Structure 1
Amino acid sequence: MKAASILLVEDDHIIAANLQEQLEQQGYRITGHATNSDEAMALFQKERPDIALLDIELNGSTLDGIELSIALHTISPLPILFLSSHDKREFVERAKQAPMVQYVLKSAPIEQLLIALDTAFATFYARRPAVVASVPASSGSGCALYAAQDFFFVRQDYRHVRVEVADIRWIEAKEHAVKIVTDTKVIAFSVRLNSFLEQVPHPALMRTHRSWAVNTRHVVAYHRGRVMVRYREGTQEIPLSDKWRESFLSGLPNLRAD
């Protein structure tokens, strides 16, 4: 698991430094700072960030922020948040024409910026045809899940944490929450197991029990009521109930004898 990565495009070095410090304090990871569209395109190609913060007016740049957002989307679509020092109507209206973006003033407090980032994630993933729309995990939980095909973001206290499906070993239900286990970390998330699997419908994530699901890519053996999952330097036993046994086995590439 890792923090969501941000490409910051801002021609004012002082503003950029302040933004970077504030966002890193909130748990985000700044992949790079560009001052013009050429630098931004190069960083984007190299780092492939999860979201971009773009200044609309980039002095001395080939493209302004709005034109840059369109160029980035032609390479690989991503959530975009525009930054501007003023709310001129012409820029606001042009920003609305750009693909899947949000808009916030540079003078806005950090709380408003964090909300705008969250909205940018939610808007982007809700519109993606191959992606499950994000929904609040539970009433008042303060968490949300944004899921793509091979990864998802968990939002907790405005911080977006990226989890790769390939890293998951198993998922365990704990009352109204789930515990997502990887080789290096455990993250608790306030959502029911059924809802989690619906929001992250990855074929490798298979239910084995009312309270358990595993990543079949890490299954090393199964026998009767147990599934052995590769975990750190050894394995972990996960229960396999009769109710889920048939559907679980049907999802495994078993070799049949002649």
Structure 2
Amino acid sequence: MTARAFALLATAALAVGAFPAAAQPEAAARRVEAFAQLPYWPGYWVAEDQAGTTITGLAPVATASTGSSFSVPIMPLRATDAPWNAEGRRRWDEVRQSAGGRKATGWGYPMMMGSATPLRFLITPEETIIINFYNEARYIYTDGRSMPAEDDMWPTTYGTSIGHWEGDTLVIETVMVTTPSDFFHGSPPFSEEARYVERIRLDGPDRLTLEMTVTDPVTLTQPWSVQAAWVRDPGFDRQITLDWTNDRTGNEDGLNTIELAPVE
């Protein structure tokens, strides 16, 4: 390379690098301002009706009157009361028959939003990430983009989520969720055509609320709406990532138990 060519290349490189450097303070200031407009939901959140759950799978609120069995409805996202049509009821019965002998692959969506596993909400101007202790994550894009075209999506465990803020309420639309009960036996058997709309907001200093409406022409006779909530779990000061490879949860008489370690 000649000295002249090298000089021209160096000058071009400096020119290209100069613009981002000059724009950085302005861009940073805009982002700081954008952050200031967003809610802040720090800490670890657990489903309100699942707080204090032990290995038995029974939360204190569910056993308050009996001490050993479910005395109040819990985990409303299971959709026990959904307006199932004939196909939905067929799927529901099929899942319930096989649930006791199945291992979990994870919580999946929508059940990760109403489980006993703590959640974190990481909020930025461009997206909100919801992650649980099993390293399951949802990415809700809030940068103004539209939902991708249908032929540019395919069903996945957590679907595709686009969101926006209405004041302090995060509104999320999620589509293309793989049949939830195929992933986790406790999930509702909605089809891949289901559309989920969530509204999440802070209700007091230590409580988040959720309103969800699901429409599914395959399994429901009409839209189904449900409410849930989370409370701060003070028992955690850091996120401990787990996995499902050592799942020793058994099932006996409808309750979870701990299976013995395999004998080698």
Instruction: Give yes or no for TM over 0.5.
Output: no
- TM-score when normalising by structure 1: 0.27
- TM-score when normalising by structure 2: 0.26
More helix by share: 1
The structure showing larger relative contact order (alpha-carbon pairs under 8 Å, at least 6 residues apart) is 2
The structure having more radius of gyration, on CA atoms, is: 2
More strand by share: 1
